């Protein structure tokens, strides 16, 4: 028996990057997974590749800043698979600007995705998670993607750090609230460092620009730059879930 046999998961921002790697691992572990994203072509391709490999997956269009989109996405997931056991609030964007460079519009776009998206996803999925959790020996689970900078801050991206710190505090608050209400829903956050993907490339470019290296602020990709620049001597690859017991 696989860890996630019979489980139904929804992962936001899962057309590519950490999200896509997460749904692949969940399907390998036996879960049925709904992929939510704005990148329709890439999302459908991810879902198609999972089906071709024998998994059960469906793609739904999702703008995480829209309550209507969240309502439609969770309803479609429940209708297609019959419920919801796991929510992964993964969707996020990166702002590679310091405080003096950042505008109010930058901040509104950033918190709309990175914070509002997590709140809306949790609110919308809660009834379905609560129902399945009450009937399951393991309960249900919410996993929020924060970041290392949500714990220690960043000299390069203070507003991004603020959103990720907010996710960390929100996660703890939801765990306490659900415990108080005796909901059988675990809530945990994951705090990746630099990942070798498109967002990781943005972070590396920001550091390169800050250090005055690279032509026009463009440096090597994350996977090329990290070995000599980051603790442990490497970037992390897309295998973030296999050591974490919170999703089963």
Which residues have a catalytic role annotated?
A: 160
Q: Residues near 140 by Cβ (< 8 Å), separated by ≥ 6?
A: 84, 85, 86, 129, 130, 132, 133, 184, 185, 186
Distances (CA, A) of 39 to 15, 149, 158, 177: 6, 26, 27, 33
Strand partners, 233: none
Instruction: Compute the Cα dihedral for 59, 65, 68, 71 and give only its sign.
Output: positive
3-state secondary structure of 51: helix
Q: Please state, in angstroms and rounded to a whole number, the distance separating the CA atoms of residues 183 and 174.
A: 10
Q: Residues near 76 by Cβ (< 8 Å), separated by ≥ 6?
A: 34, 58, 60
């Amino acid at each position: 028996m696989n860890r996630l046999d019979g489980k139904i998961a929804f992962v936001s921002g899962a057309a590519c990057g950490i999200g896509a790697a997460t749904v692949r691992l969940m399907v390998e572990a036996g879960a049925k997974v709904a992929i939510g994203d704005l990148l329709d072509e890439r999302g459908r391709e991810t879902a198609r590749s999972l089906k071709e490999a024998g998994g059960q997956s469906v793609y739904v269009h999702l703008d995480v800043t829209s309550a209507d989109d969240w309502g439609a996405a969770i309803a479609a997931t429940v209708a297609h698979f019959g419920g919801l056991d796991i929510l992964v609030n993964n969707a996020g964007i990166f702002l590679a600007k310091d405080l003096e460079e950042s505008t109010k519009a930058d901040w509104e776009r950033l918190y709309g995705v990175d914070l509002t998206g997590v709140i809306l996803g949790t609110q919308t999925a809660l009834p379905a998670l609560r129902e399945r959790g009450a009937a399951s020996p393991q309960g249900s689970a919410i996993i929020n993607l924060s970041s290392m900078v949500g714990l220690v801050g960043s000299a390069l991206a203070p507003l991004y750090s603020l959103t990720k710190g907010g996710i960390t505090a929100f996660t703890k608050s939801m765990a306490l609230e659900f415990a108080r209400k005796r909901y059988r829903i675990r809530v945990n956050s994951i705090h990746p460092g630099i990942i070798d993907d498109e967002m990781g490339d943005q972070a590396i470019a920001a550091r390169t620009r800050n250090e005055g290296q690279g032509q026009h602020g463009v440096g090597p990709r994350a996977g090329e730059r990290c070995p000599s620049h980051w603790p442990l001597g490497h970037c992390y690859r897309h295998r973030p879930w296999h050591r974490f017991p919170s999703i089963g």
